[in-house]
Amino acid sequence: MPIEFAKYQGLGNDFILIDNRHSSEPVLTPEQAVSMCDRHFGIGADGVIFALPGQNGTDYTMRIFNSDGSEPEMCGNGIRCLAKFIADLEAAEIHPPLSKGGSKSKTEYRIHTLAGVISPELRSDGQVKVDMGLPRLMAAEIPTTLAAPDAKVIDVPIEVADKSWSVTCVSMGNPHCITFVDDVSAVALETVGPQFEHHPAFPQRTNTEFIQVIRRDYIKMRVWERGAGVTLACGTGACAAVVAGVLVGKCDRTTAVELPGGVLEIEWAEVSGRIYMTGPAQQVFTGCLSQLSVVSCQLTVVS
């Protein structure tokens, strides 16, 4: 049976979105997702995201397969795209339009993920603000062996690619290793990134963020994502980078994070300790798959 899909991007981090609300299991296998993500022989994406029925009182469930077929706990840019996708689905299903003011869909959702419940909100300016929850800082929570299980990993040395790096580790429901450098453009990401990801100190592998501080409220970031490689943006990574920056005294609690694909606004609330991420999500095109071949496609033109 043909499968309809939509492609969305958040700061260039792009995803194939599938309406999977009829089933609690993804309609595609990880191997099929790999084929779809291939940028030469498939649609091309950093991952495939499935909108499944909610669990335990949530509105929806998010599952994602990376471009290598692995399944991460969550994805920050991906959940913004999922929220926009869900809102578009719901808006299209409201018939007839409301008697006053036309159709209306929800603007806030509670989404079940493998990293816990995440709450995105679609703002009137087109941005999506996401309550990313609390960062996890203990070594056992990340997980990493760079410190005792009940200790934080802050400015700890690690040997990677014949060099000693000072790293801080944070979990946003998925593992992140953050290191501050003088010039992010000088980092050989394709060489260093895989060595961080597969370092034995990270038993579940890790995402790695390289950060250049421009001002206390503005940083530049490049990222090697676990299971996806070099990407133009990483939402959970931007959150983890600001947490790390605060912990080492380099960043304010509200900081703009410049990535190759654009800028995310990150706030680590002092009172609640929760992280808030704000950024764009945009539909690129919609299409239909038949036996993993694209049989039709409609481009979304953005002015």
- C-alpha 242, offset from chain centre: 15
Q: Which residues are catalytic?
A: 75, 234
Greatest alpha-carbon pair distance for the chain in Å reads 67
H helix or E strand, kind and range, residue 197: helix 189-197
Angle CA 169–64–193, to nearest 5: 40
- C-alpha 300, offset from chain centre: 22
Is 93 in a helix, a strand, or coil?
A: helix
Q: What Å distances lie between residue 254 and 78, 218, 264, CA to CA? A: 22, 9, 11
The answer to whether 158 touches 147, Cβ cutoff 8 Å, is no
